[in-house]
Amino acid sequence: MTAEIGQFCMILALIVAASQAIIPQIGASKRDYSLVLFGKYAAIIQLILILIAFLCLMHLYIISDFSVLNVWQNSHSEKPLLYKISGVWGNHEGSLLLWVLILALFGAAVASFSKNLPPTLVGRVISIQAAIGFGFLILLIFLSNPFARISPTPINGSGLNPLLQDPGLAFHPPFLYLGYVGFSIAFSFAIAALIEGKVDAAWARWVRPWTLAAWCFLTIGISLGSWWAYYELGWGGWWFWDPVENASFMPWLIGTALLHSAIVVEKRDTLKSWTILLAILAFSFSLLGTFIVRSGILNSVHSFASDPGRGVFILVFLIITIGGSLALYTWRAPNLKGGGLFSPISREASLVINNLLLMSATATVLLGTLYPLILDAISGEKVSVGPPYYIGTFIPIMTPLVVVMGIAPMISWKRSDLSGVLSRFWICILITIVAGLVTLFLTYKGPILAVLGIILSVWLISGSIADFLERIKLFKVSFNDSFKRIINYPRSAIGGTIAHAGVGILIFGITISSAFELEKIQSVKTGDRVQVGNYIFEFKGTEISRGPNYDAIRGNFDVYKGNDLIIKMQPENRSFINPEMVTTEAAIYPRNLGDLYAVLGEKNPNNTFSTRLYYKPMINCLWLGCLLMALGGFISLSDRKYRIGAPKKRFIEKNRTLGLYN
């Protein structure tokens, strides 16, 4: 019965979405606000319906109703509750339902928090939001129904891939989707603005918080995925430039560009049509990402079940959405009035450089991701594009970006002089040069990229700190005044500084952990000692341990530094029964921002075990950096100016007098 309720709610949601796509659009063009109001209610009803459908599916998973095909394929009665729940979105159909749910959530959020927005704009935004939802509901209902039944009912499910039974991955898809789908709001606002033919600072102020929120979620989503790969896949890497990873990374890069260009629209009322284009592209790449992941068109470690029918549908949907919006853009964008001018050395110009470099980075990732497809289509030759390509193209693009990033927050709007800015940064330049020389000296004849990485990260971190100190005028005014300045420091600026410092720390972590990682591969028998840097791993043999739905061989290592036992590490080899599969559970012990990392391999015929032991210095800076980026985003999001009320009232008054609100 639950499955039928869910199915019914999805169909109702489809009908509501259809009317929500059409009626408020008409209302907006005829200036009939009761029709817009209808759209607002429709958005909320659509959310409720999809939420019910989603909860129905979740219920089916929790009670393990194997008469439903999707539950049978992806669940098992002995699975822990958390993974029964996360199993809902651990598969194609369920994750699509989550996609639609989040889309409806954002639509309803715009409908509910839009009291201060011009009603015509709201009408158009929620209508476009519903049109996207309509497309995905069609895909869901007709091509990937999560509520399809099977008969006869199997006794037990076939289980969820054990690698996915992990807290990091349980929350990875929802965050990723909050990011992907969050860009739909920026997209809808962009299309609405194109139809309305009006983009101004107020428009940017409405779009930016949504974009920022989406960006933060996407940052968390990508980091969670990366973190999961690091500790769960057991080969110690955290980013593989896999097509599916790239699929999430491209929207992130464009989202980052959008975030920055929206600042220019907001503060300086220029770069408008560019920002609109970015908003369209950010969401287009989210759709492209969904297509790449869901169609199985590219070879990837994320081998989701693929289905050509779905692939074709998503491709057609993609062409209509991206093609349609770009066509609308070419038609309407020239009507947008350009704004203020700025000199080549100004905050605007630095943000333009940011955008250009981020877009170039996106283009190279796109090229690398699609190149095997293109070449296969042209010559039939199979190739794979691996990390060396991405590293080779990314570093030259990111280096100037980081250099500009270090000083950009201190460059003033409109026009500024470089020597003035640099003179305020002399101390950062000095610190950076010293850090570079010290690294060069310490790693004599070592990896030159390590020196570059250190220079960039030190430059960015010291620049962020200098920016902060400059703004609070430490030592230039009394401590009391400085303190007051900290209190009154706008949160959007603090957030930016923290996020930039986060990028610096991230680069530091990447550099040190990849350049100075220690790896030892060997076979060991009980009593063997292996030295990894300053640490000695003593193998104490194995034992059998039982988990809730697996058996494990557990290896025991005593880890010494000098003569002190610092930790016992227990990597495992888990054998799951449903589905039958073996996974490696690495043992990780964080120490001084680095990690000791031990993996137990297979048992050899002569009773030894293959093992891999690592010391990964500063690897935790990587996660810390990502965390700071997301944190900076959220702090920026909490800025007063984005809150409903305060600064907009004046704007509304102005518009009231202009007769925009009746």
Partner 1 sequence: MLRNLKPKRRRLLFLLSGIFILGISLGLALLALNEQVDLFLTPTSLSKKTIEVNKRFKLGGLVKKNSIRRLEDGITTLFIITDNNMSIAAEFKGVLPNLFREGQGVVAEGKLNPQKIFIASKIFAKHDENYLPPEIADAIKKEGQWKGE
| Residue ranges binding partner 1 (CB under 8 A) | 161, 163-164, 233-235, 296, 299, 301-303, 341, 343-344, 352-353, 356-357, 359-361, 363-364, 367-368, 371-372, 381-386, 388-389, 392-393, 396-397, 415, 521-523, 573, 579-584, 599, 601-602, 604-606, 608, 610-612
What is the nearest approach in angstroms of partner 1 to the Cβ of residue 465? Answer: 29
Q: Tokens 């590219």 belong to which residue?
A: 298
- DSSP letters along 3-25, please? HHHHHHHHHHHHHHHHHHHHHHH
What is the nearest approach in angstroms of partner 1 to the Cβ of residue 357? Answer: 7
- For helices 272-295 and 201-232, what crossing angle results, to 10°? 30
What is the nearest approach in angstroms of partner 1 to the Cβ of residue 134? Answer: 31
DSSP secondary structure code for residue 89 in this structure? G
Q: Pick between residue 390 and residue 642 the one whose CB is nearest to partner 1.
A: 390
What is the nearest approach in angstroms of partner 1 to the Cβ of residue 217? Answer: 24
Q: Report the residue count for the chain.
A: 662
Q: Pick between residue 316 and residue 391 the one whose CB is nearest to partner 1.
A: 391
Q: Pick between residue 485 and residue 603 the one whose CB is nearest to partner 1.
A: 603
What is the nearest approach in angstroms of partner 1 to the Cβ of residue 341? Answer: 6
Write the single-letter amino acid at 91.
Answer: N
- Contact, 554 vs 542, CB < 8 A? yes
Q: Which residues contact 571 (CB under 8 A, 6 or more apart)?
A: 554, 555, 557, 584, 585, 586, 587, 598, 599, 600, 611
Q: Pick between residue 17 and residue 596 the one whose CB is nearest to partner 1.
A: 596
Residue 185 tokens read as 């709001």
Q: Which of 223, 163, 234, 232 is nearest to 614 (CA)?
A: 234
Q: Pick between residue 94 and residue 119 the one whose CB is nearest to partner 1.
A: 94
The count of other CB atoms within 10 Å of the CB of residue 51 is: 16
- DSSP letters along 321-369, please? IIIHHHHHHHHHGGGSPP-----SSSHHHHHHHHHHHHHHHHHHHHHHH
How many Å separate Cα 366 from the centre of its chain?
16
Q: How far apart are CA 623 and CA 569, in angstroms?
A: 22
How many Å separate Cα 63 from the centre of its chain?
32
What is the nearest approach in angstroms of partner 1 to the Cβ of residue 474? Answer: 33
Q: Pick between residue 64 and residue 608 the one whose CB is nearest to partner 1.
A: 608
Q: Residue 251: is the preceding peptide bond cis (ω within 30°)?
A: no
DSSP secondary structure code for residue 601 in this structure? E
Q: Report how far apart, in Å, the C-alpha atoms of 344 and of each of 266, 267, 355 are.
A: 19, 17, 14
Q: Which of 151, 144, 147, 103 is nearest to 7 (CA)?
A: 147
Q: Pick between residue 386 and residue 490 the one whose CB is nearest to partner 1.
A: 386
Q: Residue 308: is the preceding peptide bond cis (ω within 30°)?
A: no
Q: Pick between residue 327 and residue 521 the one whose CB is nearest to partner 1.
A: 521
What is the nearest approach in angstroms of partner 1 to the Cβ of residue 236? Answer: 11
Cite the DSSP H helix spans in 473-552. Answer: 479-488, 491-515
Q: Pick between residue 267 and residue 302 the one whose CB is nearest to partner 1.
A: 302
Write the single-letter amino acid at 610.
Answer: S
Q: Pick between residue 523 and residue 655 the one whose CB is nearest to partner 1.
A: 523
What is the nearest approach in angstroms of partner 1 to the Cβ of residue 396? Answer: 6
What is the nearest approach in angstroms of partner 1 to the Cβ of residue 379? Answer: 12
Q: Pick between residue 564 and residue 580 the one whose CB is nearest to partner 1.
A: 580
What is the nearest approach in angstroms of partner 1 to the Cβ of residue 165? Answer: 12
Q: Pick between residue 123 and residue 296 the one whose CB is nearest to partner 1.
A: 296
Write the single-letter amino acid at 264.
Answer: V
The b-or-e profile of 429-453 (16+ CB within 10 A means b, else e) is bebbeebbeebbeeeeeeeeebbbb
Q: How far apart are CA 80 and CA 91, in angstroms?
A: 17
What is the nearest approach in angstroms of partner 1 to the Cβ of residue 293? Answer: 13
Q: How far apart are CA 90 and CA 157, in angstroms?
A: 14
Enumerate the β-bridge partners of residue 613.
Answer: 520, 598
Enumerate the β-bridge partners of residue 521.
Answer: 612
What is the nearest approach in angstroms of partner 1 to the Cβ of residue 87? Answer: 15
What is the nearest approach in angstroms of partner 1 to the Cβ of residue 528? Answer: 11
Q: Pick between residue 253 and residue 428 the one whose CB is nearest to partner 1.
A: 253
